[in-house]
Amino acid sequence: MKKIQMVDLISQYQHIKPTIDKGFEEVLSTASFINGPQVNLFAQNLEKYLDVKHVIPCGNGTEALQIALMALDLQPGDEVITSDFTFAATVEVISLLKLNSVLVDVDYDTFTISPEAIRKAITPRTKAIIPVHLFGQCANMEEILQIANEHNLYVIEDNAQAIGAEYTFKNGTCKKSGTMGIIGTTSFFPSKNLGCYGDGGALFTDDDELAHKIRGIVNHGMYKRYYHDEIGVNSRLDSLQAVVLNTKLPLLDSYNEKRIKAANYYDRAFSDHPNLVIPVRMEIYSTHVFHQYTLKVINSDRNSLQQYLSKREIPAMIYYPVPLRKQKAYDNGNYNDEDFPVTNKLIDEVISLPMHTELEEDQLKFITDTVLNFFK
Ligand SMILES: *Cc1c(COP(=O)(O)O)cnc(C)c1O
């Protein structure tokens, strides 16, 4: 059996090596490291895949979120509602821009932001909601967009973990994850479902004016060379990363299929277990592309399970061990523990198992057998 890894990018590379190597050589031999034709080609390819009017590549997923907030002209003191249970990038950029982050509880089944909690958190200063499509499944966008509509709020989707997922609205309309809000953002960090070999990110929008503004912001606020119309940043996807993404984008659906297959294997092994809750798939509205396969461990000791697996060379991760509102950097003293019953529970229950495109049957068998043996 091959050594089990949380993510196996080395084996994945072996399958696409000729195309990647050839593309890299082309960039190297033309020295078109920045703004090479590969970058624009990738933006066009992703526009087609997502069926969105504009894809603007940028440096990473965190900057994509920051640029989205800058493009919407949010002002210091404006409130932005987001999830208490996610990676810190979202709350980080809100705070960097001196906006007020309002963290709210999540839904127990899906780990995504609770529409009910959003409603309770809205004030006259609320300007935007950032739902995070956590672990590979879309948040309840039907309700979130409805709330946003009622209160005239922007919705920015953090799609770093769910690229390729599809959302179906009650009226039958089907949209790719990240294309439902005014802006969607994503990350191409190597371990994401669509990852490059360094840092990368992108913003998506159907709005021409916003797209124009974003194209300026990512490039020092320049629309004409050396004329700076607004304060921008330097945030670029480089040509080598675009080579990787152009190679991997046509494979994204098959990559996600492989993740779903591994998730199905895990589900079969764990679905009847009294101490394990398998990830709930909200098939009525979203497909699940399993960026992570996250179990809940109930009436047992999650940390001991993690140690037990680790001793048997099975990596397993706790995403996420600390709610964002309790992080030193973001604890503003305004939160009440009673408002976060779900996050408070999840941080003790969740454990994510190895999940990637190269998992083999003997590895899956060893992982599931070992997890089940822990409880015997
Ligand atoms: C990875 C991730 C980000 C940040 O992306 P980077 O490219 O690492 O900056 C933001 N939000 C979520 C939910 C993520 O998983």
CATH number, domain of 59, equals 3.40.640.10
- pLDDT tens readout for residues 220-266: 999 999 999 999 999 999 999 999 999 999 999 999 999 999 999 99
Percent with pLDDT over 70 in the chain: 100
Regarding whether 236 and 298 lie in a shared domain, the answer is: no
Name the domain count of the chain.
2
Regarding whether 216 and 81 lie in a shared domain, the answer is: yes
Cα dihedral 313, 319, 323, 328, rounded to 10, equals 60
Instruction: Work out the pLDDT band at 320, boundaries 50, 70, 90.
Output: very high
Higher per-residue pLDDT: 334 or 61 = 61
CB 188 within 8 A of CB 194: yes
Per-residue pLDDT, 35: 94
Torsion sign across C-alpha atoms 197, 92, 72, 161: positive
Return the structure tokens found at 280. Answer: 């709930």
Decide: residue 341, CB within 10 A, 0-12 exposed, 13-18 middle, 19+ buried. exposed
- pLDDT tens readout for residues 195-224: 999 999 999 999 999 999 999 999 999 999
Distance from residue 190's CA to the centre of ligand 1 (Å): 11
Residue 345 lies in a domain: yes
Q: What atom of ligand 1 comes closest to residue 65's alpha carbon? A: 10
> Domain boundary at 233, 249, 265, which?
249
> Domain boundary at 249, 281, 307, which?
249
> Domain boundary at 195, 218, 249, which?
249
Q: From 285, 219, 292, select the one nearest 262 (Cα to Cα).
A: 292
Residue 341 lies in a domain: yes
Q: What atom of ligand 1 comes closest to residue 187's alpha carbon? A: 7
2 is an active site residue: no
Regarding whether 216 and 292 lie in a shared domain, the answer is: no
Regarding whether 351 and 265 lie in a shared domain, the answer is: yes
CB 330 within 8 A of CB 103: yes
Which residue CA neighbors atom 6 of ligand 1 most closely? 61
Regarding whether 302 and 174 lie in a shared domain, the answer is: no
Q: What is the DSSP letter of 136?
A: G
Residue 96 lies in a domain: yes
Percent with pLDDT over 90 in the chain: 99
- pLDDT tens readout for residues 126-153: 999 999 999 999 999 999 999 999 999 9
Regarding whether 256 and 213 lie in a shared domain, the answer is: no
What's the mean per-residue pLDDT of the chain? 97
Q: What is the mean pLDDT of residues 47-62?
A: 98
Regarding whether 284 and 208 lie in a shared domain, the answer is: no
Regarding whether 170 and 232 lie in a shared domain, the answer is: yes
Residue 1 lies in a domain: no
Omega cis (within 30) before 320: yes
Distance from residue 60's CA to the centre of ligand 1 (Å): 8
Residue 166 lies in a domain: yes
Residue 370 lies in a domain: yes
Per-residue pLDDT, 327: 97
Instruction: Work out the pLDDT band at 347, boundaries 50, 70, 90.
Output: very high
Statement: the pTM of the whole predicted model exceeds 0.85 = yes
- Residue 159: which domain range? 9-104+111-249
Question: Residue 125 phi/psi, 5° resolution?
Answer: -90, -5
Regarding whether 228 and 79 lie in a shared domain, the answer is: yes
Per-residue pLDDT, 86: 98
Regarding whether 193 and 243 lie in a shared domain, the answer is: yes
Q: Is 211 helix (H, G, I), strand (E, B) or coil?
A: helix
From 127, 192, 248, 296, active-site residue: 192
Distance from residue 160's CA to the centre of ligand 1 (Å): 5
Return the structure tokens found at 57. Answer: 């590549």
Residue 4 lies in a domain: no
Higher per-residue pLDDT: 333 or 26 = 26
Distance from residue 210's CA to the centre of ligand 1 (Å): 22
Per-residue pLDDT, 74: 95
Regarding whether 300 and 181 lie in a shared domain, the answer is: no
Q: What atom of ligand 1 comes closest to residue 134's alpha carbon? A: 13
Residue 162 lies in a domain: yes
Regarding whether 194 and 167 lie in a shared domain, the answer is: yes
Torsion sign across C-alpha atoms 43, 49, 51, 52: negative
**What's the CATH number where 336 sits?**
3.90.1150.10
Q: What atom of ligand 1 comes closest to residue 132's alpha carbon? A: 13
Ligand 1-lining residues (CB < 6 angstroms):
60-62, 86-87, 89-90, 132, 158, 160-161, 187, 189, 199, 201
Per-residue pLDDT, 29: 97
Q: What is the mean pLDDT of residues 71-92?
A: 97
Instruction: Work out the pLDDT band at 22, boundaries 50, 70, 90.
Output: very high
